[in-house]
Homo-oligomer: A and B are copies of this chain.
Amino acid sequence: MEEYRVTFWPEGIEISVPAGTTLLEAAAEAGIALKSTCGGQGSCGRCVVRVKEGHVASEPARRKLSLPGEGYVLACRTKVLGDVQVEVPKDSRLDEHQVLLDDKQGASVESPCTLQPLCEVVSLELEPPTLTENASDWSRVQTALRRYFPETSIKVSLSTLQELAEALRQADWRVAVSLARLNGQAEVIRVTSANEKDIYGVAIDLGTTTVAVALVDLIKGRIIAQGGTYNRQSRFGDDVISRIIYATTTEQGLKELQEAALASINEVISELLKEKGISYQQVVAASLAGNTTMTHLFLGLTPKYVRLQPYIPTATEFPLVRAGETGLNIHPSAPVLVFPSVASYVGGDIVSGALFTGIAKSQELVLFVDIGTNGEMVLGNSDWLISCACSAGPAFEGGGITFGMRAMKGAIEGVEIDPATLEVKWRVIGRTKPMGICGSGLIDALAKLRRAGIIDRTGNFQEVPTPRLRRTDEGCEFVLAWKEESGNGQDIVLTEGDIKTLIRSKGAVFAGIMSLLKTVQLKLDTIDKIIIAGGFGNYLNIPNAIEIGLLPDLPLDRYIFAGNTSLKGAIEVLLCRDKWEEAREIGRKLTYLELSVGNLFMEEFVSALFLPHTDLNLFPSVASYAPKYAPGERVAG
């Protein structure tokens, strides 16, 4: 087949591809990461590039998209038919380092443990063998180690054994032995010369959208570097469902997704190691927390039945695997602790979060809420734990919202609306011109629109005197930022559809919370502590979230932000090995409430499709806000 050259600018990277390759595929091959959240379906409109020169063929997008100007095309819908010069706008690129990892607010729920790392190092001065003292190399090491671990059986993996003879002799029998302590056994991971005593672990949060990695010094018990990137699986679809479909309907689909997740993780690991001047062999342990689908894909387990009723994962507890088996680019014998799941939609990320936040040891009644693409939540204390997952949708991550975007540079993260003039002010991440609006901005906007009387309690636009409210072919929309103010030359609007989507999302989360409470027959105000997790949680304005009915109307001092608890729990098991058994117990102990059984959730959901709720008694503090413009005639939509 004919091959053509595609050159990407401003880098000037040139590659050769067969005729008919899409520009999205070509960019991936050139190592240029384009935004794409619809899996190349031509519906998200994020992979916009400009064809400067050359012969291409573009199929029309799936939905109406306004492209920035002449020559702009969707990379996923555009095929190469000759040599091409392509410019990749900054906005279409995945920003590599905008994954948020940690925050000061998380400090209050940290559960410090005595440093007792998963792996440790023992220095041995061995007597060299002689004709009369002729034990094998491994017996020699094992015997010496027994002084340190008298009660423990001491094992070694085949790959470590393969290196042992030379390692001992190169180190002239004075060695540092790295061991993992697991299940009452000590397992030798690595043998080096006596002066190489530093060992590290990596904690991995494998999210559907982003991957976060912490590099941990196992001797000092410290996080020494953190990093993140987008999950490269994104090009196969935005959410777990589209990934599952890809994995189970495409030949090699599961393998492709597994490799994409691995490539994302390995990329971050290798950057962190490079930054710190650490070799991959020094990383002797790993832990990984992810939702059930991500965990299945990472381990090469089919996620097919996670999607199909009755939603059954292959496993919720996973075998102890070695880095070499998984493809993680660290020491091949390093154990990889993969957090157990609870069910198909309550995964290891939630178990890790429950571990880190200490719910399972709490005397108080705790509600733990992780709002990502799904809303997952755990309610309970040291006696019992119950969890559920509601399909909140990706709205709070910017998905499915016309100008929605993740909390990154250019995102409106706060909105003010003057009650008198209905004029809008916004706060933008990175203090630049706004390009879109992220979750916290959306919550803010919804609260302020309602407070200003621009929308009513059902989310319908009201007849209000402002040019910002306008009607289009597809219904009404409200202009948050005029194109003269915006960073992309477009009016940034919230449409009627966006508002409905947001209300459904917030309604689902609140209905999940209520379903848990009703199942255990408790009232909202019995909750002593609400812990909010997820990257999202870092920017959430709690009063606004209460005002729109996303979160319960409880005193603000009961709320705690915990940040990326999935990653933090993963770090914890590396530093405190007893925590691993605790995590496994949480996985077993957590009852899963399947919301698709019975009417409970659906009834709660319908009741929650108002701002804040049909039952205003649930929101006493909110009910007192009177909208300036009383609900009146709807603007025709």
Contact = CB atoms under 8 A, between A and B. Distances in A.
Interface in A303-317: 304-305, 309-317
A383 interface: no
Contact of A138 (B302, B314, B343): B314
A136 interface: yes
B597 A301 contact: no
B316 A158 contact: no
Nearest to A133: B310
Interface stretch (A124-132, A279-287, A604-612): A124-132
B129 A319 contact: no
Contact of A316 (B139, B300, B310, B314): B139
Contacts of A158: 299-300, 318-319, 321, 325
**Across chains A and B, which 10 residue pairs bring their CB atoms closest together, nearest first?**
A138-B315, A131-B310, A136-B316, A165-B314, A136-B313, A129-B312, A131-B597, A137-B314, A136-B315, A165-B302
A157 B343 CA distance: 20
Contacts of A310: 129-131, 134
A170 interface: no
A134 B314 contact: no
13 contacts: A131-B310, A132-B594, A134-B310, A134-B594, A136-B341, A137-B315, A138-B314, A138-B315, A158-B325, A161-B301, A162-B302, A162-B314, A166-B302
A131 B309 contact: yes
A312 B597 contact: no
Nearest to A319: B158
A430 to B, nearest CB: 43
Interface of A: 129-132, 134-139, 155-158, 161-162, 164-166, 169, 299-302, 304-305, 309-319, 321, 325, 341, 343-344, 592, 594, 596-597
A129 B139 CA distance: 48
Given A132-B597, A165-B305, A302-B165, A137 B313 contact: yes
Nearest to A595: B131
A325 B301 CA distance: 19
Contacts of A341: 136
Nearest to A592: B134
B131 A301 contact: no
A343 B139 CA distance: 11
A144 to B, nearest CB: 15
A137 B319 contact: no
Contacts of A131: 309-311, 594, 596-597
A295 to B, nearest CB: 11
A138 B305 contact: no
A341 to B, nearest CB: 8
Nearest to A596: B131
A336 to B, nearest CB: 10
Given A130-B310, A131-B594, A596-B131, A315 B139 contact: yes
